[in-house]
């Protein structure tokens, strides 16, 4: 079966000597490898204020704390995402407020978001779902107009672009996940990309109990309780080797996605996605809408190809019961939404086969 997701790991000749060296170096905690990784990851996304963490969820949690989210606050978000996006909002104590999506992208609809803003709204959580980028032109102006910060959940969108710049420096807070199945993995890990030195310094303390690692332990003074969210030298070493390959790995997702954009046009029963103005997706998954999704998934499975909806709409969880509201555009989108494999593991024959199977009908 061609899987829908698959972790990329560098060739053992490259990875294992570096891993062995760090494992027996006597320093496996947060140290020089972590700082080197942050620097190099920061140059990849062209944002030097990038702070590494032990998960994307930790990055979301710290972003929400930096915003100052408290119980009673509201954060506008989407049901179309992996659960951590919205679980993190609950962890910070806020109420999740769902907004509806654009019918031809599945991403949050700026006008729906605007209609959900109240005096309690403290942040807008934008998920660049499956590597497609939200309408940042519109969201940047909403953010300015209401003075409400944007948090970008770019766990699916490493290497995607807005205005020709890598995702990671548009909003005051952008999070990336380096979990097993994302574009790039450190086995587990995350990055929070920021826009202010003050946030950066505060985030560094929040990831390590509230202590400032740059100061000697005996001179430290904790003023805000922090977490144990930092990355360690072992994961950072994997990350440093991964960064040698990340550009070409991400490019293979993009090449495959663009291939499907061209090859799946004008097939009866298939509707392709529109990409928002000034954005370039990084196609973590290939997303489209199909008639008779069950039949479509079955037909592809019979041909050795995994297709799936992958995520459960988040409003199905009891945790979010208080947020229930009607989302008519999303309901229609979700009935027909399906993902196709799109990553580095597809050969040219694989992607030709996927197109042919779909063209043959289901
Ligand atoms: C994977 C993921 C996260 C969380 O990342 P972890 O590194 O697994 O904690 C957050 N948001 C989305 C959309 C994700 O897919």
Q: How confident is the model at residue 47 (pLDDT cuts 50, 70, 90)?
A: very high
CATH domain 246-359 topology: 3.90.1150
Region 332-360 average pLDDT: 98
Q: What was the pLDDT predicted at 352?
A: 98
- Cα 127 to averaged position of ligand 1 atoms, centre (Å): 10
Active site residue 359: no
Region 66-90 average pLDDT: 98
* Cβ–ligand 1 contact at 179 (below 6 Å): yes
Distances 353 to 170, 184, 251, 288, 345 between C-alpha atoms, Å: 38, 26, 20, 17, 14
Q: What was the pLDDT predicted at 128?
A: 98
Residues 6 or more apart whose Cβ sits within 8 Å of residue 216:
none
Q: What was the pLDDT predicted at 73?
A: 98
Q: Write phi, then psi, for 8 (nearest 5 degrees).
A: -95, 130
Q: How confident is the model at residue 42 (pLDDT cuts 50, 70, 90)?
A: very high
The architecture that CATH gives domain 12-242 is 3-Layer(aba) Sandwich (3.40)
Q: What was the pLDDT predicted at 71?
A: 95
Query: CA neighbours within 13 Å on the CB side: how many for 281?
Result: 29
CB 157 within 8 A of CB 254: no
* Token reading at 283: 């196609």
pLDDT, tens digit, 9 for 90 and up, residues 252-307: 999 999 999 999 999 999 999 999 999 999 999 999 999 999 999 999 999 999 99
Q: Which of 182, 228, 299, 353 is catalytic?
A: 182
pLDDT, tens digit, 9 for 90 and up, residues 163-200: 999 999 999 999 999 999 999 999 999 999 999 999 99
The whole-chain average pLDDT of the chain stands at: 97
How large is the angle between the packed helices 84-91 and 56-67, nearest 10 degrees?
40
CB 18 within 8 A of CB 241: yes
The pairing of beta strand 279-280 with beta strand 337-340: unpaired
* Cβ–ligand 1 contact at 47 (below 6 Å): no
Q: In the beta sheet, which residues pair with residue 271?
A: 289
Q: What would you measure as the largest C-alpha separation in the chain, in angstroms?
A: 70
Give, for ligand 1, the residue of 63, 152, 155 to mutate: max count of ligand atoms closer than 8 Å to Cβ.
Answer: 155
Residue ranges of the chain assigned to CATH 3.40.640.10: 12-242
């Amino acid at each position: 079966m061609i899987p829908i997701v698959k972790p990329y790991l560098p060739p053992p000749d490259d990875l294992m000597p570096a891993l062995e060296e760090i494992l027996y170096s006597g320093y496996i905690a947060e140290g020089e490898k972590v700082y080197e990784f942050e620097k190099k990851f920061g140059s990849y996304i062209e944002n030097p204020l990038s702070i590494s963490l032990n998960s994307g969820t930790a990055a979301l949690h710290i972003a929400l704390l930096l915003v100052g989210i408290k119980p009673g606050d509201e954060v506008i978000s989407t049901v179309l995402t992996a659960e951590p996006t919205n679980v993190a909002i609950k962890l910070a104590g806020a109420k999740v407020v769902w907004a509806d999506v654009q019918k031809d992208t599945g991403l949050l609809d700026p006008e729906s978001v605007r209609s959900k803003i109240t005096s309690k709204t403290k942040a807008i959580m934008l998920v660049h779902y499956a590597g497609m980028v939200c309408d940042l032109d519109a969201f940047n102006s909403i953010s300015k107009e209401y003075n409400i910060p944007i948090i970008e959940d770019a766990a699916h969108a490493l290497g995607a672009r807005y205005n020709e710049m890598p995702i990671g420096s548009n909003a005051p807070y952008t999070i990336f996940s380096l979990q097993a199945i994302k574009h790039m993995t450190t086995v587990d890990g995350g990055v929070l990309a920021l826009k202010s030195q003050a946030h950066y310094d505060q985030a560094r303390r929040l990831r390590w109990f509230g202590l400032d690692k740059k100061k000697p332990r005996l001179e430290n003074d904790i003023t805000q309780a922090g977490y144990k969210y930092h990355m360690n030298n072992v994961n950072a070493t994997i990350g440093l080797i991964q960064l040698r390959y990340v550009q070409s790995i991400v490019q293979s997702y993009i090449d495959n996605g663009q291939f499907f954009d061209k090859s799946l046009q004008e097939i009866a029963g298939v509707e392709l996605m529109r990409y928002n103005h000034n954005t370039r997706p990084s196609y973590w998954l290939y997303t489209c809408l199909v008639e008779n999704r069950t039949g479509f998934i079955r037909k592809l499975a019979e041909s050795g190809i995994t297709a799936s909806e992958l995520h459960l709409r988040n409003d199905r969880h009891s945790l979010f019961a208080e947020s229930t509201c009607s989302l008519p555009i999303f309901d229609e989108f979700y009935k027909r939404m399906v993902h196709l494999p799109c990553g580095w593991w597809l050969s040219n024959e694989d992607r030709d086969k996927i197109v042919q199977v779909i063209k043959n009908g289901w």
